Amino acid sequence: LNETGKTDSGAAVIIASKKPFLQVLGGGTTARPPIWLMRQAGRYLPEYRATRARAGSFLDLCYNPELAIEVTLQPIRRFGFDAAILFSDIMVVPHALGQKVWFEEGVGPRLEPVTAADELDRLSYDGFEQVLGPVYQTVAGIARELDDSTALIGFAGAPWTVASYMVEGGGSRDFAKAKAWAYGDPEGFQRLIDLLVEATVRYLSAQVEAGAEALQLFDSWAGALPERALRRWCLAPAMEIVRRVKQQHPSVPIILFPRGAGMLYRDFALESGADALSLDTMVPLAWARDRVQSEVVVQGNLDPILLVTGGEALRRGVLDILETLGSGPLVFNLGAGIVPSADPQHVADLVELVRGWRA
């Protein structure tokens, strides 16, 4: 070990970590799976709603290090998860590239749409680092606050998912505009994807430099694309991002969430270069064990609605995952983000179930 407590070999750093989450991602084993939950900071927590009200707009909260650090730590204090995830949003990247972004109460993100290649020159790196500076300050502040058993996850949206919001001007049911561009002008759409690959590599690398110990790339809408398009617009850009971030930071584990990829989860496991795949709720557990966990660490995949209902259905859902995936490398998580109507008591019950499990 050198004076910073790290060895020269990246893998050794991770396995030697005291943090169970990093041990599992580094290929080590722990008595029981570490646990954190996607969107663990959010409206289901009264303390989040109180801080959110002080911040002003949602983007103001994302760019306020003091308050963003506070909401990141709220679920850690309450539940003692094995990892904290930076509080921010995937929309800060298009915003930092100069696109107009705002959040509408009860609707979600809204953007001034970019619909064709000749509009791409509206986007630039001129203000990129300045806009994202507060996010890196947040990362550094969280890193200072965490104890030596809790890891810090940085994140970004994957190019296809972020592009879909940029092109549609917000959320979408059918992705008609984004697909029309991708299918009708693939070279032009590739320029948007390439721009997002570059921006995402810069953004994730800067998070690592500020103190993020692992990264997650959210491709929440991968499942909207058929095979050929999914390989080109989701798998290939993810490979490129993983390769380039690891070139700069070889020891940082990367988790990929190609939500809805179905049987192509196997191809992501074999080809993406990611250390772990986050499974959505639809992936069958035994298939995931045999075809995905055989290649990479898996994370997931409890139905978030079980945290609304709780009780026996929650217990059964948790045990199904632990009994099928718990003997291999597993990070316990949800198969999608937590919902605002989740009951914090059921989240506490979930943590107790996972922590109390014996393989």
Annotated catalytic residue within 136, 165, 203, 265: 165
Alpha carbon distance 293, 54 (integer Å): 43
Piece of the chain touching ligand CP3 by CB under 6 A; list 87-95, 144-152, 233-241, 341-349:
87-95
Alpha carbon distance 291, 319 (integer Å): 20
Alpha helix (H) residue ranges in 174-325:
176-184, 186-210, 227-230, 236-248, 265-271, 285-291, 306-309, 311-325
Piece of the chain touching ligand CP3 by CB under 6 A; list 32-40, 119-127, 195-203, 294-302:
32-40
Alpha carbon distance 325, 50 (integer Å): 37
Q: Does 108 bind ligand CP3 (CB under 6 A)?
A: yes
**CB 61, min distance to ligand CP3, A:** 7
**CB 126, min distance to ligand CP3, A:** 24
Alpha helix (H) residue ranges in the chain:
10-15, 20-25, 46-55, 58-62, 65-79, 92-96, 128-145, 159-168, 176-184, 186-210, 227-230, 236-248, 265-271, 285-291, 306-309, 311-325, 344-356
Annotated catalytic residue within 39, 202, 259, 266: 39
Q: Does 85 bind ligand CP3 (CB under 6 A)?
A: yes
Residue with smaller CB distance to ligand CP3, 89 or 275: 89
Tell me the one-letter amino acid at 331: V
Query: Could you tell me the CA-to-CA distances from 51 to 11, 37, 66, 234, 300 in Å, in that order?
Result: 38, 20, 10, 35, 28
Enter the tokens of residue 91: 């929309």
**CB 181, min distance to ligand CP3, A:** 19
Q: Does 171 bind ligand CP3 (CB under 6 A)?
A: yes
Q: Does 220 bind ligand CP3 (CB under 6 A)?
A: yes
Piece of the chain touching ligand CP3 by CB under 6 A; list 89-97, 230-238, 271-279, 300-308:
89-97
Tell me the one-letter amino acid at 273: G
The site map against ligand CP3 for 320-359 (x = CB under 6 A) is: -----------------x----------------------
Interface residues with ligand CP3 (CB under 6 A) are: 38-43, 52, 58, 85, 87, 89-91, 108-109, 155, 157, 171, 218, 220, 337
